[in-house]
Amino acid sequence: MWGEALGLLEQAGRLHRQFFGLVPGAPACWQPPVDIVESEREFIVIVALPGVEPERIQLRTGNDGSFVIEADRVSCVKTQTIAVRCLEIPYGRFERRIVLPPGRYELVEQSSRNGCLELRLQKL
């Protein structure tokens, strides 16, 4: 019973975050999952962004040496939809801050493939 209650709370929170993201100008309401791998010469950052058009993605540097990835994932729910049975993929405005170890980096490649953004950052 407790597990059911926790599951319902989690589902309610997820739905709240998704619908909150529909408000124009609303703050970021979700964060995409990220993989970060490091080699001797570079970091590779892979961000899962299903349904996000590559040209809508913005990258900016933070004041603390981090960088931020942001965009909007537009809802696929159409006005003629009668009933929504399940909404698990988040949409709305997102923002993801990536913090790398102290150092200097240069973005040498940015590509989108299979719903993922891939960034290659060379160590300087």
Residues 5-59 pLDDT 10s: 556 656 666 555 555 444 455 677 889 999 999 999 999 999 999 989 999 999 9
The single residue listed with the structure tokens 């899962």 is: 48
Domain 2-123 has CATH 2.60.120.560: no
- Residue range 77-124, pLDDT digits in tens: 776 767 777 878 888 889 999 999 998 899 999 999 999 999 999 999
CB atoms within 10 A of CB 106: 10
How far is Cα 70 from Cα 29, in angstroms, rounded to an integer? 11
* Residue spans per domain, the chain: 2-123
Ramachandran class of 26: left when φ > 0, alpha when ψ lies in -120 to 50, beta otherwise:
beta
- E strand segments, the chain: 34-38, 42-48, 58-61, 67-73, 92-98, 105-113, 116-123
How much is the pLDDT for 44? 97
